[in-house]
Amino acid sequence: MSEGRRGAARSETARLAILEATAALFAERGYDHLSIEGIATRAGVGKQTVYRWWPGKSALIAECLLEGMLLPERFAMPDTGDLRADVVAWLTEVEAVLESPTGEGLFRSLIAAASENVDVARRLRESLADPRLFLPRLLAARDSGEVRADLPVEEVSEALVGAVMLRALAHSPADPGLPRRLVDLTLGPRPS
């Protein structure tokens, strides 16, 4: 029954201190000025304790993302029954964060982290628009005639999240009309 493990158990205190230090330094200085050495120092932890449990800084970011320490909860899409309005609301929130001075660099940093770690990429995408939540909404909308019947639903969130990322990468200025236009583009005109 017993695991047979011997020796001291992993310290949850250390684990949290490390993740918090990572999140703080990531927000302050960005992904590529992030150093394991700095994280360990800030967390009051030996470097070895970091390396014992994580292979590198991208894995730390992935775990922070999973624990919701980097991006706000509010990116979850609301469900008011009106799909277009809900997606617009979600995109607007995302834009609001990207407009903020901290949010902008943070998001670009996340993309950098994502580019060297699949986990980060997947979790980043899910943080923005989880396909497992997005898809059912779209399928329902297709059934109810809210969107055209042959809409390629799988690609909708890819296109939306992708466009947002691309704009973040290119430092494109915030654009208040954008969410609506992107929704119009991907979901098509509201059926009369």
The closest alpha carbon to 27, from 106, 130, 141, 143, belongs to 106
The reply on whether position 56 binds DNA by CB under 7 A is yes
CB 75 → a second copy: shortest distance, Å? Answer: 15
Residue 188 contact partner, candidates DNA, a second copy, none, CB within 5 to 8 A by sort of partner: a second copy
How many DSSP H helices and E strands does the chain contain?
Answer: 10, 0
3-state secondary structure of 2: coil
CB 127 → DNA: shortest distance, Å? Answer: 24
Which residues between 33 and 52 bind DNA (CB under 7 A)? Answer: 33-38, 44-49, 51-52
The alpha carbon of residue 177 and the mean position of all alpha carbons in its chain are separated, in whole angstroms, by 23
- CB burial of 134-146 (b: ≥16 within 10 Å; e: otherwise) equals beebbeebbeeeb
The reply on whether position 105 binds DNA by CB under 7 A is no
Nearer to a second copy, 16 or 148 (CB): 148
CB 179 → DNA: shortest distance, Å? Answer: 37
Helix (H) or strand (E) holding 134: helix 131-143
Residue 144 contact partner, candidates DNA, a second copy, none, CB within 5 to 8 A by sort of partner: none
